[in-house]
Amino acid sequence: MSAGFDADVTACADLVARADPARFRATMAAPVAARGRLFPLYAFNIEVARAPWVTKEPMIAEMRLQWWRDVLAEIAEGGAVRRHEVATPLAAVLDATGARLLDALIEARRVDIERAPFEDEAALWAYLDATSGNLMRVAARGLGAADEAALRPAGLALGMANWLRAIPALEAAGRAPLPDGQPQAVQRLANEGLAYLRAARARRRAVTRPAGAAFLPLWEVRAVLARAARDPGAVAQGRLDPPPARSGAALAWRAITGRW
C-alpha cells in the first residue's frame, strides 16, 4: 500500500479543506508522507457522513451508503476497485482490516438516516466509538503502531467534541442529537469526554511518533469540551470554537513536539 500526491489525493485534500477544515489543518501539520495517507481516509469520512443529509429520501441515503460499503468490500477482497476520485486513493492506503473497520463506521451512520434520538448516553458513546473511533483506528494503523488503550479514548474524546460542536447544525437538519439536552446532561457528557482525553494522553507513550499524526485532530478537544462543561449553553449557541490565534498556536506546538 502506497500513496502519493497525485490528482486524486489532491482532490481529496480539497474536499477535506472545504468540508472538514479542522482535520485539514491537523493533516497539514502532519509529515508530508502522512498527509498522502490521511486525506483519502478523511475524504471518505466526509462522503459517508454527509450521505444521510443530502437527501430527505431514506432509500436514496441507504443507496449512497451501500455504494461505499461495496467499495470497501472490493478493497477487502483485494481485487479491482471502481474508479472514483476518493475510492481509488482510498484503496491505495487501506487493507482488509481497515476496510472492515470503516464498514462498521458506515453501519453506524445508518442511524443518521432515521434521525431518531439516541436511546441513552451509552448509545451515543457507542455511535461515537464506531464513527470517530474507527476513523482514528484506521488512520493510526496506516501510519504506525498505536495501542487501543490510547486509540479508543482518543476517538471518543474527539467524537464528543465534534458532536457538541455540530449540535446547532444537527438540530437545524431535524436531528435530535442528544438523549438529554438539559444543561446538566451536556455538562456530564463534556466532562466524560475530558476524562477520555486524559486517559488517551496517559497512554501517549504507547503511540509511535508516525502514528501520532492521526492524533493531531485532538488539538482543540480540551478547549472545546472544557468550554461545554463550564458553559453548557454555549453548545446550542455554537460558541465552542476556541479563538483562532490560540488554536493555531496550539496546533503548531503539538505538531512540533508530537505531544498531541
- pLDDT at 155 exceeding the cut of 70: yes
The tens digit of pLDDT for each residue in 219-249 reads 999 999 999 999 999 999 999 999 999 899 9
**In the chain, what are the domains?**
1-114 (no CATH), 117-260 (1.10.600.10)
Residues near 185 by Cβ (< 8 Å), separated by ≥ 6?
121, 178, 179
Residue with cell 496546533: 251
Q: What is the pTM of this model?
A: 0.95
User: Per-residue pLDDT for 4 more than 80?
Assistant: no
Residues 162-178: b if buried by 16+ CB within 10 A, e if exposed: bbbbbbeebeeeebebb
The whole-angstrom separation of Cα 105 and Cα 109 is 6
Paired residues of 146 in beta bridges: 207
- pLDDT exceeds cutoff 90 at 67: yes
Q: Are 164 and 235 in contact (CB under 8 A)?
A: yes
pLDDT digits (tens, 9 = 90+) for 88-108: 999 999 999 999 999 999 999
Does pLDDT of 170 surpass 50? Answer: yes
Write down the pLDDT at residue 174: 85
What pLDDT is attached to residue 175? 87
Q: Nearest to residue 136, comparing CAs of 212, 196, 63, 198?
A: 212
- What is the crossing angle of helices 148-165 and 134-141, to 10°? 130
Q: 218: which DSSP letter?
A: G
Over residues 1-18, the mean pLDDT reads 85
131 CB burial (10 A radius; 0-12, 13-18, 19+): buried
CA distance 80 to 91: 9
Tell me how far the alpha carbon of residue 125 is from its chain's centroid.
14
* pLDDT at residue 233, rounded to an integer: 97
pLDDT band at 1 (very low <50, low <70, confident <90, very high): very low
